[in-house]
Amino acid sequence: MKERYSSLDGLRAFAAIGIAIMHILANIDIEPDKNLLLYGTIIPSLTHFVYLFFMISAFSMCCGYYERMKMGQISMNKFYMKRYQRILPYFALLVLIDCFAPHGVNKHEFSTMSVGAVDIVSPICSQLYESFANLTLCFNLLPNADIKVIGVGWYLGIVFLFYMLFPFFVFMLDNKQRMWKSLILTFAFCFVAINYFYTEKFVNFDVTRHNIIYSAPFFVVGGGIFMYRDVVLSFVRKYRWMMLGVCWMAVVGYWIVSPSEFWFVVIMSVICGLWLCYAIGSKGCILNNKLTHYLSNISMEVYLCHMMAFRGVEMLHLSRYIQQPDIHYWLTCLLTIGAAILFSHIAKYKILPLVEPYLFKQSK
C-alpha cells in the first residue's frame, strides 16, 4: 500500500500562510515595531518557506513519478500536460486580472523597450510582454526574469523549470550512490556560481533563489529524502519529539547565526530537510487535520493570489480607523488571507471546472 504522508499538508498550509504574513509586513503602510523579535526577525524569516516549498515539490514529484519514469510507464506528453493542467488555468486567471487591475505595478512604472531602432516607452507593452512570458510558464529560462505581473509568480518559474528537468533529475537519483554524488556536485556548482559566476564579471543583477542553480540543492535534498523515506519514517515515528526538538533548535540557531551566501543555502537545506523528515513520520494533529488538508489543496493558489488580495484590502484604508500598528497589521493579515482563501476556493472549485473541459482536450 502506498504511504500517504499526510503531515506534508500542514507544511504546505503553514508555508503559504507564513509567506503571506511576511509579504504583508513588508508592504503595509503602518508598520509594527521592527525592533521587536517577532517583527524584526521571525516574520521576515518566513520568506524562506519558499525553500521548503521547493523541497516538498521534489519529494512529492518523486512519490508520484520517480518509479514510473524510471520504468518508462508514463509518456512525456502526459507528464507535461498534467503540469500545465495543474498550474496554467489558475495562473492565467490571475494574470488576466492583474492586467486590468488598477494597482498593477506597470500601470505606474514606464519601462523603456526597443523594437528595431525605435524606443518605445509604454507600460502597456511591458504588461503584455510580461503576461505572455508568464503564460508560457517557461520564463525562468530568461537570464533575469524580473517580472512584475504576479510578482510572486517567480516561484512557478523555478518549479516549472524543475518539472522540465525532472527526467534528468530522475537520472541523477537513479540510485543512492548516484544521489549522494549528485547532491555533492549540486552544492559544489552552487558554491562556484555564488562565488564566481554570480559576480559582476558575468552579471549586473543579484542572482539568488530566482536562479535554478542557486535553488537546485533544495530539490536534490528533497529527492534524496525520498530515497531514504522508509528509514526516515521509521526513525521519526520512534523519536518524534526528539526530532521536533532538533527542528526547532535548528531554526533558533539560524536566527542567531544568520549565515550568508553559500552557507545560507547549506544551512537552509538542513533546516528544510529536517522539517520535511519530521513531517514524513509525524501524525500529529497540528500538521495533520482537516483544516491543513483543505489549505494544502489550495496552498499554491493562496500563495499566488495573496498579494492581489492584499492590494484589495488596502483599498479599505483601515489605517484611517485603526491607528494601533499591531492591531492594524494583524487585522490586515486576517482579511488578506481570508480573501485569498475565498478567491482561491471559488476559482479552483467553482470557476475553473467550468472551462477546463474545453482545455487540454488531447490529455483526456
**pTM score:** 0.91
Q: What's the rounded mean pLDDT across residues 302-328? A: 94
Give tens-digit pLDDT for 114-160.
444 444 446 778 888 999 999 999 999 998 888 989 999 999 999 99
The more confident residue out of 134 and 355 is 134
Is pLDDT of 341 > 70?
Answer: yes
The answer to the question of residue 361 being in a domain is no
pLDDT value at residue 361: 63
pLDDT value at residue 106: 43
Q: How many CA atoms lie within 13 A of 72 on its CB side?
A: 0
The answer to the question of residue 73 being in a domain is yes
**Contacts of 304 by beta carbon, 8 Å cutoff, 6+ apart:** 90, 91, 94, 150, 152, 153, 156
Number of domains in the chain: 1
Confidence of residue 205 (pLDDT cuts 50, 70, 90): confident
pLDDT value at residue 3: 67
Cβ contact 174:223 at 8 Å = no
The beta strand positions in 59-198, using DSSP E, are: 112-115, 118-121
Give tens-digit pLDDT for 154-198.
999 999 999 999 999 999 999 999 999 999 999 999 999 999 999
Q: What's the rounded mean pLDDT across residues 89-114? A: 67
The answer to the question of residue 166 being in a domain is yes
Residue 339: its H or E element: helix 325-346
CA neighbor of 343 nearest in space, from 50, 49, 101: 101
Helix, strand and coil content of the chain, in percent to the nearest 5, comes to: 75, 0, 25
Confidence of residue 103 (pLDDT cuts 50, 70, 90): low
The answer to the question of residue 1 being in a domain is no
Give tens-digit pLDDT for 243-285.
999 999 999 999 998 888 899 999 999 999 999 999 999 988 8
Is pLDDT of 221 > 90?
Answer: yes
The answer to the question of residue 2 being in a domain is no
Task: Tell me how many degrees the CA angle 356-362-364 measures, rounded to the nearest 5.
Answer: 65
pLDDT value at residue 132: 94
The answer to the question of residue 3 being in a domain is no
**DSSP tag of 205:** S
CA dihedral 63, 66, 69, 75 (to 10 degrees): 30
Confidence of residue 215 (pLDDT cuts 50, 70, 90): very high
Residue with cell 503564460: 135
The answer to the question of residue 364 being in a domain is no
pLDDT value at residue 2: 57
Give tens-digit pLDDT for 231-242.
999 999 999 999
The answer to the question of residue 255 being in a domain is yes
Domain that holds residue 127: 8-356
Q: What's the rounded mean pLDDT across residues 338-343? A: 98
Q: What's the rounded mean pLDDT across residues 333-349? A: 97
